[in-house]
Amino acid sequence: MSTVTIVGDYFSTRSKETGTGVRLINHVTKSDVLKNKIVLQNYLFSLLVEGTKVVHTAHHSITIDNEKFLLLFPGNYLMTEKITSSDGRFQSVLIFFTPEALNVFFSKYADIIIEARNIPLEQVQVFTKDLFLKNFIHSLLLMSGNGKEIPATLQQVKLEELLLYLCYHYPEKMQQLKIRANISIAEIEIKKLAESNIGSNITLEELAFLCNMSLSTFKRKFIKLYGIAPSMWFLQRRMELATALLRTGKEKPSEIYYKVGYESHSSFTHSFKQVFGLTPTEYRQRILT
């Protein structure tokens, strides 16, 4: 069983350079593929044209034919592709899109989805093709026939067309996608700000503001992400940084407190002693002797 990480191989250099975050592939094979390990790092619409696809997640197994199609969220899957058509081939139109591209869509069309609460977040969404969706897939086949590359901006437009149609006809399922998008973007922002501000004296209130969240929401999301309260996380990381600086023996405690996010030497000394039972000076003397 092979493992395929679907990200770089399916995102051409050109689509990366345009910044659209969308990649459309007309996938055709003439052999069965049995239980590939798939590591999906972006969202994926798998628009089945011919054959049967089986997708195994951690909790479910889903089988579809060409009357249905799938929306898969980033994650790990086992996938099987079986040829069932008379012409002996499997075909699926694949539309990959990044979390950033999804966030751009929901920002652009912020008013089209009715908010819903307490919706279970599934890893795979299954849609049944109606006449519009069949014609939509047919349009993609026409544009990508004979190995033609669809321009990146047109790929983005086609993704928006599909997402807009699904938002109006499957609002609850698309609300799940919006919730997942908000979660992923929020996690990215929290991680980015937390990791880049270990050595600054920025407050939690200021971090929450920069993440466009209330303080209580920021704390809740931070705990979900790191498994620890933000104040304790920052204390631990700042103390790790402080001990690393002290071990070098090149700088005195009075010269590093501002490098680890403290406004004064006294507040740094107080926190350090709470954690290690020693003042920074005593700690430095002990490791250097």
Based on the fold, state whether residues 20 and 149 are members of the same structural domain: yes
Give the containing element (helix H, strand E) for 106: helix 99-108
278 Cβ contact list (under 8 Å, min separation 6) = 272, 286
Based on the fold, state whether residues 145 and 221 are members of the same structural domain: no
Given this model, what pLDDT does residue 155 score? 95
Based on the fold, state whether residues 102 and 20 are members of the same structural domain: yes
Q: For residue 87, what pLDDT band results from cuts at 50, 70 and 90?
A: confident
Q: Is residue 183's pLDDT more than 80?
A: no
The DSSP output letter for 271 is: H
Count up the domains in the chain and report the number. Answer: 2
Quick check: is 192 in a domain? no
Q: For residue 97, what pLDDT band results from cuts at 50, 70 and 90?
A: very high
235 Cβ contact list (under 8 Å, min separation 6) = 271, 275
Based on the fold, state whether residues 124 and 230 are members of the same structural domain: no
Quick check: is 94 in a domain? yes
Quick check: is 223 in a domain? yes
Average pLDDT over residues 192-214: 88
201 Cβ contact list (under 8 Å, min separation 6) = 258, 261, 262, 263
**Residue 61 to residue 240: CA distance in whole angstroms:** 44
16 or 123, which is more confident: 123
- Identify the residue whose tokens are 């990508």: 144
Given this model, what pLDDT does residue 12 score? 45
Quick check: is 260 in a domain? yes
Quick check: is 21 in a domain? yes
Q: How far is CA 111 from CA 72, 114, 172, in A?
A: 24, 8, 14
**Residue 269 to residue 89: CA distance in whole angstroms:** 70
Given this model, what pLDDT does residue 210 score? 86
Given this model, what pLDDT does residue 69 score? 95
The DSSP output letter for 83 is: -
Quick check: is 59 in a domain? yes
Q: Is residue 99's pLDDT more than 60?
A: yes
CATH number for the domain spanning 250: value is 1.10.10.60
Q: Which residues pair with 54 in a beta bridge?
A: 63, 80
Q: Is residue 195's pLDDT more than 70?
A: yes
Based on the fold, state whether residues 45 and 131 are members of the same structural domain: yes
Based on the fold, state whether residues 36 and 167 are members of the same structural domain: yes
262 or 8, which is more confident: 262
Based on the fold, state whether residues 167 and 47 are members of the same structural domain: yes
CATH number for the domain spanning 138: value is 2.60.120.810
Quick check: is 184 in a domain? no
Given this model, what pLDDT does residue 159 score? 97
Average pLDDT over residues 176-204: 82
Based on the fold, state whether residues 80 and 21 are members of the same structural domain: yes
- End residue of a domain, out of 152, 179, 206: 179
Range of the domain at 98: 3-179
Based on the fold, state whether residues 18 and 53 are members of the same structural domain: yes
CB–CB of 40/76 below 8 Å? yes
- End residue of a domain, out of 149, 179, 209: 179
Q: What is the pLDDT of residues 218-274, one digit of tens each?
A: 999 899 888 899 999 999 999 999 999 898 878 888 889 889 999 899 999 999 999
Q: Is residue 14's pLDDT more than 50?
A: no
Of the listed ranges 113-122, 133-142, 161-170, 238-247, the least confidently predicted one is 113-122
Based on the fold, state whether residues 31 and 144 are members of the same structural domain: yes
Based on the fold, state whether residues 152 and 239 are members of the same structural domain: no
Q: Is residue 116's pLDDT more than 60?
A: no
Based on the fold, state whether residues 99 and 204 are members of the same structural domain: no
Q: What is the mean pLDDT of the chain?
A: 85
Quick check: is 187 in a domain? no
